[in-house]
Amino acid sequence: MSKYKEIKGFKVQTLASDTAASVAATGTWASAPNMNVARNAMTGFGATNTAAIGAGGYNGTAYVASAELYNGSSWTEVNDLNTARGYGAGAGTSTAGLFAGGHPGSSAVAINETWNGTSFTEANDLNAIHSEFRGCGTSTAAIVAAGLTAPYPTITNLCEVWDGTNWTEVADLNIAGVGVQLAGTSTLAIANSGANPSPTARATATELWNGSSWTNSTASNSGHREGAAAGIQTDALMGGGAFPTNSPSVIANTEIWNGTAWTEVNDMATARSQMGSTVGQQTNSQTSLAFAGETAPGGRSAATEEWTTTPAADFTQINLGQVYYNSGSNAFKVTEQPVPGGTWSAGGSLNDGRSSLTGIGIQTAVVAVSGQDSTTSLIASVEEYNGSVWTEVNNTPVTLKYPGAGGILTAGWVAGGLTTYNGTAFNAETFEYDGTNWTDSGNINTNRYTAYGGGPQTAAFIAGGNNTSFAAVGNTELYNGSAWSETTDLNTARNNAFGNGTQTDGIYAGGSPGNKADTELWNGTTWTEVNNLNTARHSIGVGGGTAPGSSVLVAGGTDGTNNEANVETWNGTSWTEQANLAATNSSNGLGISSAASAINFGGFAPTPSTFATVTEEWTVPEVNSTITVS
């Protein structure tokens, strides 16, 4: 006989711990015994969270030489450094490490000392003086990078590699910085954060070292200047630090790196910077240690925190929509993706600053198409984004400004637009993109620009825009992969609005003339007036993507006087305000796969004479929520 569960129900798993994106993502910080001496400007090294050395630093009165050994349960005073100093770089384990550079209170030094498990010994100096910098690797194969150098205090991007005997200068970081975090080995390292007033991009910048050169990669969510770092190039951890100026507030934020991107995880208990950490950890980020540091300007800590993760045997991969029973917390839970929990994070910068562009695709596979790169010229250049960096690809056949677009990176389209910056020449053609090349296709029936829409390459729509008399229109057209056909007009004629969705599930919101909040939904046959945007605006971010009109977001725009950073998501019924963009943009590009995942790039920021290269990624994390009965 069949069981009721087999007919009507489903099995609910019992799990020892919550599901997570990875073992690293399950990590938490736990309090451990304090160091004997509270200090900031710390240098640390060690291979695990049970075996580490903390040395040097500033105790509030003077720079010190004292060193302490952690064995997993307590800190013990060991033999001092030969030269008292702080802000140095460390590498290695608790039995074989090194302490390089730093400063004793006046200027940086090039002094290098090695640790053999018992005492520090003077070894060959660095080639250049360095302080407020970091290192990683082993006692015989280490790398140090950035900091302050001569003439002191010059911010530098210099890097040196240690072979156990000598230091050798190698390729510089792309961006100089103070307090840059390092993790990994002398041939495969990752560098993040730091401070440099010009350019400010160092604040969250990530660079990867392959043994010969540094390559820019995905930025972190927060700046972690002089924080704690551990792990390897494909599995790293950063905790705490200061963000992002020369006199910043300390933070407790922690992030993990999976080889491609940073993800926010559980915070430290004590917000601080200038701490020591286990930079000799070269297996993964899953057992790490952070100790001492500056808790506020003038405040020093002796606190120690251990980072550990759920054992691999108890780990279960997160699965959106999963219902399970957590035996540890005695609760039923469901994995969901609440849009209000979304955040914007910095992505790689466009190669060409531009506005009045459009986007085709989604967050990790999108192209930025044409646009305006100055007050007097358009560009035909196209750039492709892989989730971390933009790469120049084949240009559009003509320069375009304000074209409509849709589809995906390997099967996209653009239609309409202007071919001159001053609006004297209109484009009626449709160009299809296969991920490599552009092909001319059927013309739109009503020649116009700022006509936006969406949908795949064989079933798309556009609506609204400005016609050749520069008047707003409500015309809607459908595309079948070769030709456009006229259909039902919008209820409110307008231009510079937000259009997106599919040929049977579209949306059109905001726009001008004036400054509109009107929203209309398209069902494949007719447009229906629905709830307005919360913030009236036009020149909103535009792009195709794969999102249906019932699950989209709008980002940026202008009210006619000032650019907007406002972001709103549509749930099929109404618009809800979400976290703002970091940059105020208008006439920007956009790629959307749903209200939970999008990318915003380029635009006027913040004025019509400034052409942005900025990229921001919108992500809504999957979370485990307790099911309650109300």
Residue 200 has pLDDT above 80, yes or no: no
Residue 168 covered by a domain: yes
| Residue pLDDT, tens place only, 51-98 | 999 999 999 999 999 999 999 999 999 999 999 999 999 999 999 999
Beta-ladder partners of 39: 301
Q: Looking at the structure, do residues 303 and 359 belong to the same domain, yes or no?
A: no
CB 396 within 8 A of CB 412: no
Dihedral over Cα of 574, 578, 584, 586: its sign: negative
Residue 468 has pLDDT above 80, yes or no: yes
Residue 326 covered by a domain: no
Residue 146 has pLDDT above 90, yes or no: yes
Residue 4 has pLDDT above 70, yes or no: no
Give me the CATH number covering residue 436.
2.120.10.80
Residue 618 covered by a domain: yes
Question: ω into residue 199 within 30 of 0, thus cis?
Answer: yes
CB 89 within 8 A of CB 42: no
Residue 49 covered by a domain: yes
Last residue within a domain, chosen from 308, 327, 349:
308
Q: Looking at the structure, do residues 302 and 380 belong to the same domain, yes or no?
A: no
* Tokens standing for residue 322: 């999963």
CA dihedral (146, 149, 154, 157) in degrees, to 10, reads -20
CA distances from 185 to 28, 205, 234, 263, 284 (A): 24, 19, 11, 22, 12
pLDDT greater at residue 149 or residue 328: 149
What's the one-letter identity of residue 277?
A: S
Last residue within a domain, chosen from 290, 308, 326:
308
Domain span at residue 540 reads 341-623
Residue 330 covered by a domain: no
Q: For residue 330, which phi and psi values (nearest 5 degrees)?
A: 55, 55
Q: Looking at the structure, do residues 271 and 349 belong to the same domain, yes or no?
A: no
Residue 243 has pLDDT above 70, yes or no: no
Q: What is the pLDDT at residue 246?
A: 46
Last residue within a domain, chosen from 250, 285, 308:
308
Q: Looking at the structure, do residues 171 and 283 belong to the same domain, yes or no?
A: yes
Q: Looking at the structure, do residues 398 and 253 belong to the same domain, yes or no?
A: no
Residue 471 covered by a domain: yes
Q: What is the pLDDT at residue 3?
A: 54
Q: Looking at the structure, do residues 383 and 283 belong to the same domain, yes or no?
A: no
Average pLDDT over residues 578-603: 88
Q: What value, to the nearest 5°, has the Cα angle with vertex 305 and ends 300 and 311?
A: 170
Alpha-carbon distance of 25 to 263, in angstroms, equals 8
Residue with the two structure tokens 């380029």: 602
Q: Looking at the structure, do residues 241 and 187 belong to the same domain, yes or no?
A: yes
Query: Beta 382-385 vs 365-369: how paired, if at all?
Result: antiparallel
Residue 559 covered by a domain: yes
Closest by CA to 400, choosing from 428, 423, 378, is: 378
Task: Return the H-helix or E-strand segment holding 8.
Answer: helix 4-8
Q: What is the pLDDT at residue 9?
A: 58
Q: Looking at the structure, do residues 53 and 106 belong to the same domain, yes or no?
A: yes
Alpha-carbon distance of 136 to 233, in angstroms, equals 11
Least confident of 105-114, 242-251, 583-592: 242-251
CA distances from 452 to 464, 465, 477, 502 (A): 7, 7, 10, 12
Q: What is the pLDDT at residue 360?
A: 95
Q: For residue 101, which phi and psi values (nearest 5 degrees)?
A: 65, -150
Q: Looking at the structure, do residues 73 and 213 belong to the same domain, yes or no?
A: yes
Q: Looking at the structure, do residues 347 and 303 belong to the same domain, yes or no?
A: no
Q: Looking at the structure, do residues 430 and 298 belong to the same domain, yes or no?
A: no
| Residue pLDDT, tens place only, 435-450 | 999 999 999 999 999 9
What's the one-letter identity of residue 283?
A: T
Average pLDDT over residues 337-364: 88
Residue 22 has pLDDT above 80, yes or no: no
Q: What is the pLDDT at residue 304?
A: 97
pTM over 0.75: no
Residue 397 covered by a domain: yes
What total of structural domains would you count in the chain?
2
Q: Please state, rounded to an integer, the average pLDDT across all residues of the chain.
A: 91
Q: Looking at the structure, do residues 370 and 226 belong to the same domain, yes or no?
A: no
